[in-house]
Amino acid sequence: LSPEKSRVFREALRVLKPGGRLAISDVVATTQLPDEMKKDLALYTGCIAGAASVDELIDILREAGFTDIRIKPKDESREFIRDWAPGMRVEDFVVSATIEAARPCCCS
């Protein structure tokens, strides 16, 4: 959980050896979250309100210098995400995803 995803991924790239790989699991937005969800502190600390979209994450990772970017949303995660905020239908807006990327092997 970080409001500065760009900074986190730049640091991850910095500490990886050339050819090293990043592999994480995170919550991604599948559609625009309603404003009331974005402002909900409990949803923010629960990694829902601050979720970036797949396209946003790809851009952030690319800007940080990563290559071979793959983001795989897990639709089956909706079942357990529903329990994170009962009655709020957060599963309609976010899913869990695996995020993989590589630090380039060398510079030209």
At 45-58, the pLDDT tens digits run 888 998 999 999 99
Domain ranges of the chain: 5-102
What are the strands, taking DSSP E only, across the chain? 21-29, 52-53, 67-74, 94-102
User: What integer pLDDT is reported at residue 3 of this predicted model?
Assistant: 81
What is the average pLDDT value for the chain, to the nearest integer?
93
At 13-42, the pLDDT tens digits run 999 999 999 999 999 999 999 999 989 888
**Average pLDDT estimate for 64-86:** 94
CATH of domain 5-102: 3.40.50.150
Beta-bridged to residue 95, according to DSSP, are 28
Q: Does residue 108 surpass a pLDDT of 70?
A: no
Token reading at 7: 């900074």
**Average pLDDT estimate for 73-83:** 93
User: What integer pLDDT is reported at residue 2 of this predicted model?
Assistant: 82
* Band of residue 107 on the pLDDT scale cut at 50, 70, 90: low
* Band of residue 104 on the pLDDT scale cut at 50, 70, 90: very high
